[in-house]
A and B are shown apart, each in its own frame.
Chain A
Amino acid sequence: MKKMIKDKLDGMLSQYVDGVLSEKETQQVESVLAADASARQQVEELKNLKILLSSQPQLNPDIGFWTRFAVAMDEQKEEEHNLLPFPRKFIPAMTVMASVLVVVMGTLVIQDRMQFVQFLSTKSQAVRDVYNNKILQGSLLPLFSKVDKERALQFSLFGTLQLDDKSETALRVDEQSEKGYRIEVGNNSKSKTKAVTFDRFLAEVKPSAHQKKIIDSLLELTGRRIESSVLIGENNTMAIAPDLPKLNRIMVTNIASCLEPLQRVSFERLLEANNAPYEVTANTIPQGKAGSYFQHIPKFPQGDRFVIITPDTMMYSQIHIDFDSLRRQVEGNFVPSEIRRAAMLKKIMAREFQRLPRNVHFPTPDQIFNGEEFFSVEINVPGEEDNQQQMHVVVQPRFRKQILVPEMPKHSTHMRIGKDTVSTDITP
């Protein structure tokens, strides 16, 4: 209580000295002062203190203050435009530090240069290995890694190839479209073509041991050719060599060429029974000249233009393929794991079936068919007809009631891309 009263009195006396008290408060203080000597002493001291404080020495006027200030302002402005990660005034210090660092690093490098060289060579070798093993070989993978005799025969006779054993999805090629050829990926479960096993082929045609040997090697070559003609890319891209559709006709021709006339009839019967796209015109082959009708099957696709199918686009475009690297992959040095291949394929197919192609880049008038369960690319290649005429000697297209895409599936879109127009028919 006493302290509170004392504090209040101190405050009143302080303000009394400053002359800011009201008249009433001044009278109160003066009555206290009249009675209390110590309060009078305090007021005296406060007044003295006030005088002492107010007479504190002042600094001499600084004439050059503005000049120095203007310089400081300029520095400030420069600092505002400073892009360095540290204030400009530290530039000399940072330069010295950087130089010291360079010298220290240089000394360390020179002292341990052998280790560095070794380290760098190890690293560069690692990079080279990754490039050789992963990037170089992994950017494009063959979709079909092991095309056996059965699958090669299936493709040779019918132009159809199951994408994998369990899937109903198949790659179908058809050279006998209106002008060019057609490549199609779609659901094959409803197809009327039946699988012809190699055993059934042998039972029906009854080739001799020599003929069987030729057919075996032909099928093996076809298998190799398919492996290098259908590629799948890391970025969900499928590339198909456009001369793959020819393989169907070439193989029928070649098989027919190595057979005797009676065997040819059996072969034709087998083809007809299974509604194969080509029929063998058996009588046109002169006796003893069968071998001269063999069509050459190149091991790798000829030319570097590919039909490229991505989730968003279809293109007929040039891609450069390192066939040497691909050969190594195909020949078994590097075969993509089945799981990886299936996952990549699933991505392309699932997305492709779900939506229409956004962009179609074809240099010539072509047709794209796209439905819920398939997509089909028809490519017109002018100038191919002469070649086809020549081939009719042995094999000619069968008049088929069932065409490759027998009927427009429900909810499909048929897009025609002409030279000047793009028209779209939507089947409800």
Chain B
Amino acid sequence: MKSIEISETGGSVAIPIPGSDWQSENEPFRIGVRARSFVPSFPRTNNANSMTNDQALPKPSVDVLRKMDDEALITAFQSGDRDVYRFLVERYQERIRNLLFSIFHDRDFVDDLAQEVFIKAYQALPHFRFEASFYTWLYRIAVNKSRDELRKKKARRFFSFQTLDEGIERELNVRLSVPPENRDVQELVALGLQTLPEKFRTAVILKDIEGLAYEEIAEVMQCELGTVKSRISRARAMLRKALKPLMEEVHL
């Protein structure tokens, strides 16, 4: 007997088709449906900003939404509920702010740049394909954005005839020359990071401050694993050199 078999997550249902001869083999025709992670069925809102939309279906509570994983929130976003973006922002805003702070060491500049990163992500999220995890994807946007900003700063420095790197190095040396008991170690390390070229700085920050694995860094920086290892190694060597007096004295 010819039959159509619909397999549901786990079990399967076979529907017989009497008298049908469109399938010559005896094998039942299978329609496979893969179960994805839980996707709540939100009512679609016309106004992306509006958080109060009374539709027939009740919207999951804020607590439920907050607990949902990235994938579920992105699926909801891509199905039209733009409001859930708030929970993604709240989840990652501090990590992105801190990453940008580590790169630029400029508290005032961080918030504007973080906003730009999240706006860029908002615009690109409808095309997110779940090929990478959301946070590495977000980090990639942040790293690209900071690279653009550093280039702009470099250009501005070129036209204003300043050499900021030399200024930082001089400041670092001045601070390193004070007696050890008066030194602000964290400030020295932050200044040391600023002396590194962008790609080395970003690699070592992602590794040692953000705690990403080598593979994740390769994904974020869009380069080979070997390149990441080499960059981190060289960045550490440069930092050791820049912070030599500190390295010799610090015993943790």
B93 near A10 with CB under 8 A, answer no
B94 near A69 with CB under 8 A, answer no
**Within 8 Å of chain A (Cβ to Cβ): is B15?**
no
Interface string of A53-75 (1 = CB under 8 A from B): 11111110110011011101110
Stretch at the interface among A43-51, A227-235, A420-428: A43-51
Cα(A48)–Cα(B244), bound, Å: 12
B97 near A59 with CB under 8 A, answer yes
Cα(A65)–Cα(B90), bound, Å: 8
Quick one: given A51-B252, A69-B115, A73-B122, are A45 and B190 in contact (CB under 8 Å)?
no
**Within 8 Å of chain B (Cβ to Cβ): is A20?**
yes
Residues of A within 8 A of B114 (CB): 65
Stretch at the interface among A11-19, A293-301, A397-405: A11-19
**Within 8 Å of chain B (Cβ to Cβ): is A76?**
yes
**Within 8 Å of chain A (Cβ to Cβ): is B111?**
yes
Interface string of A70-84 (1 = CB under 8 A from B): 101110100000000
B208 near A69 with CB under 8 A, answer no
Residues of B within 8 A of A49 (CB): 208, 236, 239-240, 243, 247
Residues of A within 8 A of B90 (CB): 65-66
**Within 8 Å of chain A (Cβ to Cβ): is B214?**
yes
Cα(A58)–Cα(B99), bound, Å: 9
A69 near B49 with CB under 8 A, answer no
Interface string of B94-126 (1 = CB under 8 A from A): 100110011000010011001100110010000
**Within 8 Å of chain A (Cβ to Cβ): is B157?**
no
Residues of A within 8 A of B89 (CB): 65-66, 69
Quick one: given A66-B86, A72-B115, are A10 and B237 in contact (CB under 8 Å)?
yes
Quick one: given A14-B236, A59-B110, A69-B118, are A52 and B209 in contact (CB under 8 Å)?
no
**Within 8 Å of chain A (Cβ to Cβ): is B60?**
no
Residues of A within 8 A of B101 (CB): 59
The prevalent SS among residues of A at the interface is helix
Quick one: given A61-B94, A65-B111, A74-B49, are A52 and B233 in contact (CB under 8 Å)?
no
Quick one: given A15-B229, A15-B233, are A48 and B247 in contact (CB under 8 Å)?
yes
Cα(A74)–Cα(B98), bound, Å: 25
Residues of B within 8 A of A74 (CB): 49
Rounded to whole Å, the gap between the CB of A48 and the closest CB of chain B is 5
Interface residues of A in 70-110 (CB under 8 A from B): 70, 72-74, 76
Interface residues of B in 57-106 (CB under 8 A from A): 86, 89-90, 93-94, 97-98, 101-102
Looking at the complex, which one of B98, B102, B111, B252 makes contact with A48 (CB distance below 8 Å)?
B252
Rounded to whole Å, the gap between the CB of B22 and the closest CB of chain A is 51
Residues of A within 8 A of B6 (CB): none
B186 near A57 with CB under 8 A, answer yes
Looking at the complex, which one of B93, B186, B204 makes contact with A62 (CB distance below 8 Å)?
B93
**Within 8 Å of chain A (Cβ to Cβ): is B150?**
no
A56 near B252 with CB under 8 A, answer no
Q: By CB atoms of chain A within 10 A, which of B208, B229, B234, B251 has the most?
A: B208
A66 near B93 with CB under 8 A, answer yes
Q: By CB atoms of chain B within 10 A, which of A18, A54, A55, A69 has the most?
A: A69
Residues of A within 8 A of B97 (CB): 59, 62, 65
Residues of B within 8 A of A42 (CB): 240
The prevalent SS among residues of B at the interface is helix
B111 near A62 with CB under 8 A, answer yes
Cα(A55)–Cα(B211), bound, Å: 12
Cα(A332)–Cα(B111), bound, Å: 82
Residues of B within 8 A of A13 (CB): 233
Residues of B within 8 A of A11 (CB): 229-230, 233
Cα(A15)–Cα(B225), bound, Å: 12
Rounded to whole Å, the gap between the CB of B247 and the closest CB of chain A is 5
Cα(A7)–Cα(B229), bound, Å: 12
Quick one: given A59-B97, A59-B107, A69-B89, are A50 and B233 in contact (CB under 8 Å)?
no
Cα(A55)–Cα(B208), bound, Å: 9
Cα(A7)–Cα(B233), bound, Å: 9
B232 near A68 with CB under 8 A, answer no
For residue B190, which residue of chain A has the nearest CB? A56
Interface string of B215-252 (1 = CB under 8 A from A): 00000000000000110111011011001000100111
Cα(A49)–Cα(B251), bound, Å: 11
Quick one: given A10-B233, A59-B110, A76-B119, are A45 and B209 in contact (CB under 8 Å)?
no
A45 near B240 with CB under 8 A, answer yes
Rounded to whole Å, the gap between the CB of B237 and the closest CB of chain A is 6
Residues of A within 8 A of B111 (CB): 62, 65, 68
Q: By CB atoms of chain A within 10 A, which of B89, B93, B237 has the most?
A: B237
A54 near B229 with CB under 8 A, answer no
Cα(A45)–Cα(B245), bound, Å: 11
For residue B107, which residue of chain A has the nearest CB? A59
Rounded to whole Å, the gap between the CB of A278 and the closest CB of chain B is 85
Looking at the complex, which one of A7, A14, A59 makes contact with B232 (CB distance below 8 Å)?
A14
List of 4 A-B pairs having minimum Cβ-Cβ separation, nearest first: A53-B208, A14-B233, A11-B233, A45-B247
B contact residues vs A (CB 8 Å cutoff): 49, 86, 89-90, 93-94, 97-98, 101-102, 107, 110-111, 114-115, 118-119, 122, 185-186, 189-190, 193, 204-205, 207-209, 211, 214, 229-230, 232-234, 236-237, 239-240, 243, 247, 250-252
Contacts A53-B204, A54-B208 known; list 9 others, CB within 8 Å: A7-B233, A15-B229, A48-B252, A52-B185, A52-B186, A52-B252, A53-B189, A58-B98, A70-B49
A contact residues vs B (CB 8 Å cutoff): 7, 10-11, 13-15, 18, 20, 42, 45-46, 48-59, 61-62, 65-66, 68-70, 72-74, 76
22 A/B residue pairs, CB under 8 Å, sorted by A: A14-B233, A48-B251, A49-B236, A49-B247, A52-B185, A52-B186, A54-B208, A55-B186, A57-B186, A58-B98, A59-B94, A59-B97, A61-B94, A62-B93, A62-B94, A62-B97, A62-B111, A65-B89, A65-B93, A68-B111, A69-B89, A69-B93
